[in-house]
Amino acid sequence: MGFLARVLNRILGFGRRKPEYSFVVLFNTFRQILDQNNRVLELIADMGDKLGGEYIFDKQYIISRCGEISDQVYKLIYNLNVLGERRYLALYDAFERIHRQIQEELAGRPTVPESAYVLSLDVITRDFVDEVGNKAANIGEIRNVLKLSTPDGFAITTRAFKEFLEVNEIDKEIAKIIISWDGLDEEYFFDAAQRIRRKLMVGRVPRRIASKIEKMAEDVAERNGLERPFFAVRSSGWLEDSEHSFAGIHKSILNVGKSGLLDAYKTVVASVYSCDAWGYRYNKGIQEHEVMLGVLCQLMLKPLCSGVLYTLHPTQPEKELMLISAHWGLGPAVVDGMTRVDEYRVDRNPPHEVVSMRVVRKEKELTPAEEGGIEWVRVPEERQYESCLHSDQLKRLADTGMLLERYFKRPQDIEWAIDAEGNIYILQARPLAIQRPDVVTSRDLSGLVESSSVIMSGKGTVVQRGVAVGPVFVIDDDTDISRVPHGVVLVTRYTSPRLARVIQKVRAIITDYGSPTGHMATVAREFRVPTIVDTGIATQVLKHGMEITVDATQNVIYEGRIQELCLFELTEESVFEESYEYRLLRRILKRMSPLNLVDPQDRSFSPENCATYHDITRYVHEKAVEEIIRISETYPHEMGSRPKRLDLPIPLGLMLIDIGDGTQSLPEDKSVTLEQIACLPLKALCEGLLIPGMWDTQPVVVDFRSLMSSVTRTFSPSNAGPHQIGRNLVVISKNYMNMNLRLGYHFNIVDAYIVDNPNDNYAYFRFAGGVTDAIRRSRRAACIAEILDHFDFKTETRGDLIVGRVKKLSKEQMGERMKIIGALIGYTRQLDTQMHSDDLVDFFVTQFLERLGKVIQITRKEGGDNGNNGKEDNNSLA
Amino acid sequence: METTERKTTILLLDDEPIVCKRLKPYLEKNGYEVETFTDSSKAMGRIEERDFDIVITDLKMEGIDGMTFLTRVKEKSPSTQVIVITGFATMETAKQSFQKGVFDFVAKPFKLSEIHEIVRRAEKKLRQEAASM
């Protein structure tokens, strides 16, 4: 439609056009959208909770939840198109795209991810296991999540492998062999395997792949300041270095120059089809379609010494020892058992005393040769009898080993190297298979556990399962966090995001207060550190230095060290995080839960950029509000009046649609004043907003001077000025209000209905968002939750999202609750920017209650059955 | 403290291997003797060989379904306490299973502590029944 036509249409058609649906239908659709939006987010959060390990769920659960969520998201899109007269059809494409990915995941098709042919180690984590195989994914996780030193490098992906096989038609050949082999004829098998290997060695790596490998090798060389880079080229298959170690079966080629990379690649690929490797798979029941090979290329180190670390003595696990072997120069000397090596046995517990050492004469060492490859060279006389490692290095190695073990929840078999400067590098780490020692049968265990004295049991919530032993280390806010030693059980009053920094060092965390969905909990889960929060009494019963055993699977804390419990856990047949269901859920959540669309003003805020279900819901929600305003502007006669601006002394930018006796203004008025509002819930809410000191929150420096100094310094008076406030909407009638309010980056939804009969009364609201980091936002949520708890609301908090509900109070009491909501919206709208410490949560709660108390007296519900009575002590400060 | 001369025995049947894989070590750690099956016909064979104190079974399975299985368990060994694991879809059937003398049921997904609690209650009932005999 041309511009003129549009103008004409506007002028002539105004008032005569009718919307496709009546406003009642449209408004109900709008409310449905809100409900569905919330439902989707709750379902996704519910799935996320299952990753913590406390629940038993099966694939059926994942499938049915996915179905439910997809269904809701689809309806959301449908409803938005009803509101928006089909102007959001592009959302269906976004939905289809995400839905299909989820279906593929659920179908378990070994589809090779559409990744690049090569990926830099800097971007790889365990989530990339399908793209790059286990070894590379593990080392990426160690490098990027645990932040340990590893040689720089890159991985050639499974997609490259697949295409290499296809281009050379080797995949077909393999399929043929599998069909025709009877499983017995060894000679046939031997010939077939050799034929495949030969084909692979003469095969052509497609130019598109080869050029990417070259380019990546150059990039890695450049960022490390190397002119002539040399690489270690290692296999990294699916399932390799998992419960199936494939140890020593696939080839690694050391010190490969740039020009030799493609040949090395082919050699490694060919080693997958050696008789040994093929036989290994056959015996382990690994399907040939599961053979997806990534290849890891790491920059070659020139180490002073290298070796292997077992975090647990494999044949005498009950002795609590680590085994470290070392040799001068490169690792194969140790790994491949080519020569005698130095051996150390070190206590698994800090401070990791060296229990025994055996130093042998080392006449020759392996070193990288100048032009590639490796060679034996003579060790200078004076170093031949010298121990490769001294106690300081052994301790550092032991610390690193325990960190890896705790993280991967299994004893580890680690290849390491130390350079001339004394830096430790992790070359690879894989689970160490250990037979459960006879000592640890469950009968003995339950006996042992029964005879141990329980310090506390069933208190609080398990955030991350697991077992740990160690000395208690109590910290408070004054504790210098960098002083927390390795291997302790951290005990603290509050969950605090600042603990995230030491989470890797500690064996377990126990807190008095805190939420299982807070930021620290997320980090604890990420690092899989056994964690129990909200015990109420931890700091009272657990004293500094006390040796304890934390069983965060049963939620029991025992006095003393029950080492057997740990051992039982370490030798458990299956680690939950290694299970297929865990990986599947985690992969599926990646398609659902991250939020990429943040800023509605940004050009990227579009259906095309919706990469997850969360993005879609976010988009739909934003547009639904826009649409309902547009509809009421376009079809004012349908609803008796066009939207009016609500005039308040604060810049709320609120448009109001009256669907029945909600105001006393004239139909032609462009705006309404507070006095003209007849809608009880909205009127009360606005009154709350206008309570002095609510909208213009300024921190008051009292005796919190020291605490607050940082706050006042960084506080910016208003980052939600009127120009930044989008159009906000409230739909009202005499007894009902539904408000969508975006203030800067904060989202508030309030929905309330208040009449004389208390049984019909309810108020629901939801706060989310903020401009600051997740930690401060979650503190803000904690603050809001605490205030709401105080006034009989039932609350749920998830990260920065908080939902509060109250119902069945008398009309007067409900009115008071609306004032509180109003006051809270004003008071907390920028609170996150000030939430610099956990202690401020209490401070702001108190301040809020004080200010509120000056204006209104709130009548509490009789009996206060909101289940939060325990918290009243805190609040009585007010 | 009462000392039990033998451990409480549990047979666990669920055709989703993950359920067995995760529940077995958990229950063992709590001092139970646990046998697990993912194939209901094999579990059926096993209950003909010996009685268990407690049977935990899924309802919806390939082959012999949970209802048939638990009916046979109760016929053969009326004192065995049966706990039913159920998905959302089989909730109604699960409720019907009470008529067959099922002790309790738990809906998937469930918390480890939830099933432990039910098992403990079932144990208590076993002891009471044994004492009253």
Per domain, the residue ranges of chain B are 9-132
Residue B52 has pLDDT above 80, yes or no: yes
The predicted structure's pLDDT at residue A67: 95
3-state secondary structure A732-769: ECCCEEEEEEEECCEEEEEEEECCCCHHHCEEEEEEEE
- Mean pLDDT score of chain A: 81
Mean pLDDT within B77-105:
82
For A811, the enclosing helix (H) or strand (E) is helix A811-828
User: If DSSP states are collapsed to H, E and C, what string results for chain B?
Assistant: CCCCCCCCEEEEECCCHHHHHHHHHHHHHCCCEEEEECCHHHHHHHHHHCCCCEEEEECCCCCCCHHHHHHHHHHHCCCCEEEEEECHHHHHHHHHHHHHCCCEEEECCEEHHHHHHHHHHHHHHHHHHHHHC
CA distance A742 to A739: 10
pLDDT for A337: 66
The token duo for A388 is 């490769």
Q: Which residues on chain A place their C-beta less than 8 Å from a C-beta of chain B?
A: 50, 54-61, 64, 442-443, 445-446, 450, 553-555, 568, 572-574, 576, 579-581
Contact list, A59 vs chain B (CB under 8 Å)? 16, 18
Which comes out higher in pLDDT, residue A138 or A127?
A138
pLDDT at position A256 is 95
For the cut 90, the answer to whether the pLDDT of residue A290 exceeds it is no
* A450 vs B contacts (CB less than 8 Å): 1
Examine the pLDDT at A245 and tell me if it is beyond 60. Answer: no
Using alpha carbons, select from A48, A155, A130 the residue that is nearest to residue A526: A48
Q: From the candidates B29, B32, B35, B110, which should be mutated to test the interface with A, based on the most A CB atoms within 10 A?
A: B29
When scoring A58, A448, A452 by the number of chain B Cβ atoms within 10 A, the one with the most, hence best to mutate, is A58
| Nearest of A163, A145, A252 to residue A213 by alpha carbon | A163
Measured in angstroms, the CA of A54 and the nearest CA of chain B are apart by 6
For position A314, what pLDDT does the model report? 76
Searching chain B, which residue's CA lies closest to the CA of residue A59? B16
Which residues in chain A have their CB less than 8 angstroms from residue B112's CB? 54-56, 553
pLDDT at position A53, please? Answer: 78
**pLDDT reported for residue A638:** 63
B122 falls in which pLDDT band (50, 70, 90)? Answer: very high
**Which DSSP state fits A807?**
E
| Mean pLDDT, residues A370-383 | 91
> In which band, very low, low, confident or very high, does the pLDDT at A15 lie, cut at 50, 70 and 90?
very low
- Would you say residue A22 lies in a domain? no
Check whether A707 has a pLDDT greater than 70: no
Query: Which of the residue ranges A173-177, A530-534, A580-584, B5-9 has the most confident prediction, judged by mean pLDDT?
Result: A530-534
Q: What is the pLDDT of residue A770?
A: 61
Q: Are residues A683 and A814 in the same domain?
A: yes
pLDDT value of residue B68:
92
* ipTM score for this prediction: 0.87
Mean pLDDT lowest among A862-871, B53-62, B93-102: A862-871
Assess whether A81 and A133 both reside in one domain.
Answer: no
Is pLDDT above 80 for A281? no
Instruction: Provide the pLDDT for residue B125.
Output: 92
Question: Once rounded to an integer, what is the mean pLDDT over residues A732-739?
Answer: 88
Query: pLDDT at position A25, please?
Result: 83
Cα B7–Cα B114–Cα A442 angle in degrees, nearest 5:
30
According to the model, what pLDDT value does residue A755 have?
A: 87
Which of B1, B22, B83 should be substituted to probe chain A, the one whose Cβ sees the most A Cβ atoms within 10 Å?
B22
* Ranges A136-145, A508-517, A809-818: which has the least confidence: A508-517
Within a domain: A24: no
Question: Does residue A427 have a pLDDT over 70?
Answer: yes
Distance from CA of B23 to the nearest CA of A (A): 8
Q: Are A580 and A330 in contact (CB under 8 A)?
A: no
CB < 8 Å to B110, chain A: 55-56
Q: Would the pLDDT of A527 be above 90?
A: no
List the single residue in A55, A555, A574 with the smallest CB-CB distance to B109: A55
Mean pLDDT of A366-395: 92
Q: What CATH code is carried by the domain that includes residue A192? A: 3.30.1490.20
Q: Which of A264, A299, A334 is the last residue of a domain?
A: A299
Q: Do residues A6 and A614 touch, judged by C-beta distance below 8 A? A: no
pLDDT of A193 reads 86
Question: What pLDDT is recorded for position A3?
Answer: 54
pLDDT score for A874: 31
Lowest model confidence (mean pLDDT) among A506-510, A676-680, B87-91 = B87-91
pLDDT value of position A261 = 96
| CATH classification at residue A523 | 3.50.30.10
Comparison of pLDDT for A481 and A286, the residue scoring more: A481
β partners of residue A118: A156
For Cα atoms A382, A385, A388, give the angle at the middle one, nearest 5 degrees.
100
Tell me the average pLDDT across B66-76.
Answer: 92
Q: Could A442 and B115 be called an inter-chain contact, meaning their C-beta atoms sit closer than 8 Å?
A: no
The residue among A310 and A567 whose pLDDT is bigger is A310
Query: Which among A174, A332, A203 is positioned nearest to A262, based on CA atoms?
Result: A203
Residue B31 to residue A574, Cβ atoms within 8 A: no
Which residues in chain B are contacts of A61 at CB distance < 8 A? 87, 108-109
- The Cα–Cα gap between A524 and A464 comes to 7
pLDDT (mean) for A655-665: 84
pLDDT given for residue A700 in this prediction = 37
Q: What per-residue string of b and e applies to A32-41 under the rule 16 or more CB within 10 Å gives b?
A: bbbebbbbbb
Q: Is B22 on the interface with A (CB under 8 A)?
A: yes
Contacts 24+ apart (CB under 8 A), A696-703: A697/A826, A697/A827, A697/A828, A697/A829, A697/A830, A697/A831, A697/A834, A699/A834, A700/A847
Give residue A198's pLDDT band: very low, low, confident or very high (50, 70, 90): very high
Domains in chain A, number: 5
Kindly state whether residues A89 and A122 are assigned to the same domain.
no
pLDDT band, residue A774 (cuts 50/70/90): low
Contact of A360 with A381, CB cutoff 8 Å: no
More confident of the two residues A4 and A772: A772
**B-chain residues near A553 (CB < 8 A):** 26, 29, 112
- CB-based contact, B87 to chain A, within 8 Å: yes
User: Does A11 have pLDDT greater than 50?
Assistant: no
Contact A132, A124 (CB under 8 A): yes
Q: Which residues of B touch A58 (CB under 8 A)?
A: 14, 16, 18-19, 108-109
Q: Do A56 and B31 touch (CB under 8 A)?
A: no
Whether A746 is in a domain gets the answer: yes
For residue B111, list chain A residues with Cβ-Cβ distance below 8 A. Answer: 54-56
Give the number of other Cβ atoms within 10 Å of residue A483's Cβ: 9
A54 vs B23, B89, B112: nearest CB: B112
Same-domain status, A424 and A450: no
**pLDDT tops 80 at residue B97:** no
Contact A50 B109 (CB under 8 A): yes
Is a pLDDT exceeding 80 seen at residue A546?
Answer: yes
The terminus-to-terminus CA distance of chain A in angstroms comes to: 62
- A764 touches A801 (CB < 8 A): no
* pLDDT greater at residue A332 or residue B109: B109
Whether residues A843 and A815 share a domain: the answer is: yes
- Is there a domain that residue A20 lies in? no
Clarify whether residues A734 and A688 are in a common domain.
yes
What residues of B are in contact with residue A581 (Cβ under 8 Å)?
A: 18
CB B30 within 8 A of CB A554: yes
Contact list in A for residue B23 (CB cut-off 8 A) is: 56
Contact B112 A553 (CB under 8 A): yes
Interchain proximity B109–A446, CB inside 8 Å: no
Residues A404 and A453 in one domain: no
Q: How far is A406 from chain B (nearest CA, A)?
A: 19
Q: What confidence score (pLDDT) does residue A243 get?
A: 55
How many distinct helices (H) and strands (E) make up chain A? 27, 31
Share of chain A above pLDDT 90, in %: 34
pLDDT of B3 > 60? The answer is: no
Looking at A375, A398, A431, which one is the last position of a domain?
A431
Fold assignment, B9-132 = Rossmann fold (3.40.50)
Question: Could you read off the pLDDT of A345-367 as tens digits, one per residue?
Answer: 999 988 899 999 999 999 999 99
Best CA proximity match to A508, nearest among A550, A570, A446: A550
- Residue A437: which pLDDT band, with cuts at 50, 70 and 90? low
Q: What is the pLDDT of residue A648?
A: 87
CB contact under 8 A, A58 and B108: yes
Pick A569 or A542 by higher pLDDT: A542
* Interface contact A442-B18, CB threshold 8 A: no
Range list of β-strands (E), A336-407: 342-347, 354-358, 364-368, 374-378
pLDDT at A719: 34
In terms of domains, do A662 and A617 share one? no
- Tell me the residue range of the domain where A358 lies: 305-431
Asked if B29 has any chain A CB less than 8 Å from its own CB, the reply is: yes
**Res. A452: pLDDT tops 70:** yes
Higher pLDDT among residues A832 and A152, named by residue: A152
Residue in chain A lying closest to B109 (CA): A57
- Smallest CA–CA distance from B3 into chain A, residue: A447
Distance between CA A411 and CA A431 in Å, rounded? 6
* Nearest one of A598, A627, A590 to A615, comparing CA atoms: A598
Residue from A442, A566, A584 to probe the interface with B (highest B Cβ count within 10 Å):
A442
The partner residue sitting opposite B31, judged by closest CB among A442, A572, A579, is: A442
Which residue is associated with the tokens 């004032």?
A819
At residue A718, the pLDDT reads 32
- A872 — pLDDT class (breaks 50, 70, 90): very low
Does B118 touch chain A if contact means CB atoms closer than 8 Å? no
Q: CB contact, 8 Å: B3 with chain A?
A: no
